[in-house]
Structure 1
Amino acid sequence: MHIRKRVMVTGGAGFLGSHLCERLLDEGYDVLCVDNYYTGSKRNIAHLLGNPYFELCRHDITFPLYVEVDEIYNLACPASPIHYQNDPVQTTKVNVHGSINMLGLAKRIKAKILQASTSEVYGDPTVHPQPESYHGNVNCIGPRSCYDEGKRCAETLFFDYFRQHNLKIKVARIFNTYGPRMHLNDGRVVSNFIAQALQGKPLTIFGDGTQTRSFCYADDLVEGLIRLMQSPDDVTGPINLGKPDEFKILELAEKVIELTNSSSEIIFKPLPADDPQQRRPDITLAGKVLGWEPKIKLAEGLKKTIAYFEEVLRAL
């Protein structure tokens, strides 16, 4: 008889977490989704509730959790500036206390644990593109620090548990990811532009639009996370996961207007503090160690995301 591997996904009702839960179920895992719905939503995983191998637990990981699983994907944390700056102390707590709680659980039950880290650990980079060896250029007292430094501290904790307790760890540094189930009002550039274009509102660009980002579609990113979790134990990361194609923010705005057939205009506003000018992953390591590279082109991913947002806006 085939025994299903039990996997816990914290932040499993969030944008990326829900895609990961779905994929793990498709791959034959028994999935425990843990979320406190701070930014996650039951709507994201409602279609999974009838699956006998899917379990939902409402819990805040800044408090200990006692469960038995084989693997833990730690994705719990608000990831957009609007949400993580809304309660910065709680953002730091979920990264530090939450990581300690999940690492303690993994140590006790001898589970393998993956941390969803972020490209934000590189801050406003002075090296381009960013390889994993780059230590970053981060302001530790700015409005984004709760997230940037919180995630950096989480990485520290993961590697200290690895060295001190021989824990099986994996650390993924996730670059800009987009796709269906993004929050309508999360303030991220893809969701902002699509929502504005579909509602005939002006598309707001902060700065002059020459700053660049790289956009990875959710399905590609989830594939990278699963490959990292399944990689040999000596592959700890950190490993960059993202799409190296670089786009100017202005180019993205024009693409969204074209794909939504919108008559929206583009307006410019001042750039927020510590907003990085360039963000592009060097994914050489992911290619070499995981055999991973993103496949979905921006236009294809945007079309799927636009279709999702049309549905959400119709339901409002």
Structure 2
Amino acid sequence: MAKRVLITGAAGFLGSHLCDRFIAEGYDVLAMDNLITGDLRNIEHLFPLKNFTFYNHDVSNYVYVPGELDYILHFASPASPIDYLKIPIQTLKVGSLGTHNLLGLAKAKSARILVASTSEVYGDPEMHPQKESYWGHVNPIGPRGVYDEAKRFQEAITMAYHRFHGLETRIVRIFNTYGPRMRLNDGRVLPAFIGQALRGEDFTVFGDGSQTRSFCYVDDLVEGIYRLLLSDYAEPVNIGNPDEITIREFADEIIELTGAKTKVDYKDLPHDDPKKRRPDITLARKLLNWEPKVSRNKGLKITLDYFKSLDREDLYKKDHKLFDKYIKR
């Protein structure tokens, strides 16, 4: 009999790729999403399958799933600055109430649960690269606090359920990830640059462009998550690509890749924006025998082809008013 997995945030970027992976592995996949930031187009190809079921539900409310469950993957959460500035209360609720509900469901079903945390728990880090042992440098009341602290609380309550109830838990700390099904105008740097290139706009670089990021292709991330779920390690694990690049260098890469005839427009750095971001993946290499395989050049070409295939309505859709307000503070 096939094992059953519940994936929350299933219509989002990462959630949809996880649905694909678990379907390919022969699981019965129960997908759950309230579609506040997710898009059914990401999973519409799965609806005809007998081993795929979709629930339109907000996990911040009580979660009921009939039958047995073997695994839960909790990926329901806004993840881009535009989203969590637009819906800050919902962001806090899904990280706290939603995680509590799903931990309770895992306990009731005797299921193993993996929760999606983020490199943002490290805040604007004073340690570089970031190791799992680093506690972070986070402003709890700043604009980013609604996301950062939701994820930090999520980790805390997950470990409490593990220690107090003996629940089988896993925590993945996800670093910048990219690939097909990202939303083109969600405020994150990679889709922002590609969108501006495709529209013939100048590139927006915040600060002087010296801040760094490390980009992991989605297939590599999903492989790391899959291995972590099936491991016997309960504490947080960094999954990301340690190939670090400055934002200005990254802009130059996108300009070269797309052939865009554009210049760079510099704006003020957002409040509490991290200056450095690079994962230390020593633990993932040792524990999971995992490291990223897809080069940034290859991954960017695949991602660019995906964005080129989008309708013009998606290409020109913008929702930057709150983000602009956040930048100007």
TM-score of the two chains, using structure 1 as the length reference = 0.97
Q: Aligned to 1:256, which of 254, 274, 287?
A: 254
Contact preservation (8 Å) 2:159, 2:235? no
The equivalent residue for 1:58 is 56
| Deviation of 1:237 (Å) | 2.4
SS in 2 for 1:312: coil
Contact preservation (8 Å) 2:118, 2:175? yes
The equivalent residue for 1:158 is 158
Structure 2 segments unaligned to the other structure (5+ residues): 315-329
| Deviation of 1:41 (Å) | 0.3
Structure 1 segments unaligned to the other structure (5+ residues): none
Identical aligned residues as a percent: 56
The equivalent residue for 1:27 is 25
Which aligned segments of 4 or more residues in structure 1 are displaced greater than 2 angstroms?
A: 313-316
In the TM superposition, 1:264-279 aligns within 5 A as 264-279=262-277
1:103 aligns to 2:96 (yes or no): no
Deviations 1:192-247 (A, max 9, x none): 00000011100100010110000000000000110000112xx1120000000000
In the TM superposition, 1:286-297 aligns within 5 A as 286-297=284-295
Q: 1:23, 1:310 → 2: CA distance?
A: 24
The residue type equivalent to 1:14 in the other structure is: G
1:182 aligns to 2:162 (yes or no): no
In the TM superposition, 1:110-149 aligns within 5 A as 110-149=110-149
The equivalent residue for 2:224 is 224
The residue type equivalent to 1:222 in the other structure is: V
Q: Aligned to 1:301, which of 299, 302, 318?
A: 299
The residue type equivalent to 1:227 in the other structure is: R
The equivalent residue for 1:312 is 310
SS in 1 for 2:7: strand
SS in 1 for 2:309: helix
Q: 1:255, 1:222 → 2: CA distance?
A: 25
Q: Aligned to 1:16, which of 11, 14, 24?
A: 14
The equivalent residue for 2:171 is 171
Tell me the number of residue pairs that the alignment of Structure 1 and Structure 2 aligns.
Answer: 312
The residue type equivalent to 1:164 in the other structure is: F
Deviations 1:290-309 (A, max 9, x none): 00101111111111111111
The residue type equivalent to 1:90 in the other structure is: Q
SS in 1 for 2:43: helix
Q: 1:66, 1:93 → 2: CA distance?
A: 18
TM-score of the two chains, using structure 2 as the length reference = 0.94
In the TM superposition, 1:203-222 aligns within 5 A as 203-222=203-222
The residue type equivalent to 2:227 in the other structure is: R
| Deviation of 1:85 (Å) | 1.3
| Deviation of 1:313 (Å) | 4.0
The equivalent residue for 2:69 is 69
Deviations 1:18-62 (A, max 9, x none): 001001101111101100001110010011111111111100000
The residue type equivalent to 2:156 in the other structure is: T
Contact preservation (8 Å) 2:193, 2:251? yes
